Amino acid sequence: MPLEIDVLTLFPPMVEGPIRESIPARIQEQGLAAIRVHDLRRWGLGRHRTVDDYTYGGGAGMVLRADVVAAALADLRRPDSVVILLDPAGEVFRQSVAHALAGSSHLVFLCPRYEGVDDRVRAMCDREISIGDYVLTGGELAALVVIDAVIRLLPGAIDDASTAEESFAAGLLEYPQYTRPAEFDGVSVPHVLVSGHHEQVRQWRLRESLRRTLERRPDLLEGRALTKEEAKLLAEVRSEPRDP
């Protein structure tokens, strides 16, 4: 059964373009995901298909109406749906959330614009997701980020080995990778990677993964249970003399 995705937006081409291209397109062609994009104006009110209105209490900008969203969800929501509101006040999107969503059968993304949504819309949604602490002009790019991260995790979408070892998969950043030439601009590929010694390569990768995480995202290590091997390698990394 493909993962079914419905996207509600005022700018369908903004979403349709990227999902027609590259890996997302292939994943759909393989039948692993089915993505449908809907113009919110289909549920708009009156002759002008109005979807938003001024904010009570005054202030700049327009707010997406709760009754319009309710009508759209009445048509799209199913018992197995997870309805997602893209919103700067939502939980910050992480790989663990992508994994959770990849296990669903139906996702509905609501992409507001302008000043956002009537607050009563939040009660109609199952999750609120932010893609980071900055403000975009609309939810479309945020929805595309989430969709991209989710569909590449579907079984068979891409080489399982790639997703098993990449950044965040095990709560760590990925180790450094190299390709040809073996020497470039006076910098050589670490010898162990061309040694053909699989066990040493595995251990080097784990150590460098821990090192990179410690240097760049120490927050990821806080509260993470380490295996015996990880704890030993991390202790080694910590005890190494630091570059001046």
List contacts with ligand SAM (CB under 6 A): 86-89, 111-113, 115-116, 130-132, 134-139, 142
- Identify the residue whose tokens are 């990227």: 18
Nearest residue (CB) to ligand SAM, 14 versus 170: 14
Nearest residue (CB) to ligand SAM, 35 versus 131: 131
Minimum separation from the CB atom of position 63 to ligand SAM (A): 9
Minimum separation from the CB atom of position 104 to ligand SAM (A): 19
Report how far residue 213's alpha carbon sits from residue 200's, in angstroms, rounded to the nearest whole number. Answer: 20
User: Looking at beta carbons, which residue is closest to ligand SAM?
Assistant: 139
Nearest residue (CB) to ligand SAM, 31 versus 132: 132
CA end-to-end distance (rounded Å), the chain: 55
- Identify the residue whose tokens are 């749906």: 81
Minimum separation from the CB atom of position 128 to ligand SAM (A): 9
Report how far residue 151's alpha carbon sits from residue 25's, in angstroms, rounded to the nearest whole number. Answer: 10
Nearest residue (CB) to ligand SAM, 89 versus 187: 89
Minimum separation from the CB atom of position 215 to ligand SAM (A): 26
Nearest partner of 70 among 108, 43, 37, judged by Cα: 43
Give 69's contacts (C-beta < 8 A, 6+ positions apart).
Answer: 8, 43, 110, 117, 118, 121, 124
Minimum separation from the CB atom of position 110 to ligand SAM (A): 8
Nearest residue (CB) to ligand SAM, 124 versus 170: 124
Is the distance from CB of 6 to CB of 42 less than 8 angstroms? no
